[in-house]
Structure 1
Amino acid sequence: MYKAGASHYGLSELEIFAKETHKFESRYMVGLLGPYPEAKETYFNRSPSNFTDQLSCPVIFFQGLDDKIVPPNQAELMVEALKAKGLPVAYIALEGEGHGFRMAQNIKRSLDGEFYFYSRVFGFEAGDEVEPVDIENL
Structure 2
Amino acid sequence: MMNSGFGEGWLAYGHALFYMEAHEQAMNCYLRASRILEGHFEPLLYIVVEYCFANNFKLAADFLTDAAQVAGANALVLHEQASTAFMERKFAEAEQLLMHALRLLVGANNASIRVPLLLTNNKMPSTIVRTVINNRIRNCIKRLNN
The two structures have a TM-score, normalised by structure 2, of: 0.33
More relative contact order in 1 or in 2 (CA 8 Å, sep 6+)?
1
Bigger share in strand = 1
